[in-house]
Amino acid sequence: MALNAVEQVADQVPADDFQALEEKVYRTIEMYKAARQSQAAAERDAQRLRQQLEEREEELVTLRREAVQLKKEREVIRGRVEKMLEQIESIAEAS
């Protein structure tokens, strides 16, 4: 049935017009293939970027935890140093 339709179109359309139409169809097919390849590449890039973003977010969480821990340690050390300075002052006053 499809072959009959093609034969009917071929009989109705001059050869030059048919050849031009055929070229347009092939160009359209090539454009479609190129678009699909571009879409696949874009999807791969998007996936890679999502993965990188996830890794960076995990890194950020880790760095924030470390910063909080370091601040706590700093406060502890500050308290210990102040205590030592107070003891030094009390020894100096006693002398």
Task: Write out the chain's pLDDT in tens, 95 residues.
Answer: 555 655 565 566 567 888 999 999 999 999 999 999 999 999 999 999 999 999 999 999 999 999 999 999 999 999 999 999 999 999 988 87
d(Cα 28, Cα 33) in Å, to the nearest integer? 9
C-alpha to C-alpha distances, 25 to 29, 31, 32, 36, 90, nearest whole angstrom = 6, 10, 10, 16, 96
The pLDDT of residue 11: 60
The pLDDT of residue 4: 60
The pLDDT of residue 9: 55
The pLDDT of residue 95: 72
The pLDDT of residue 92: 87
Domain residue spans of the chain: 25-94
> pTM of the prediction?
0.56
The pLDDT of residue 10: 55
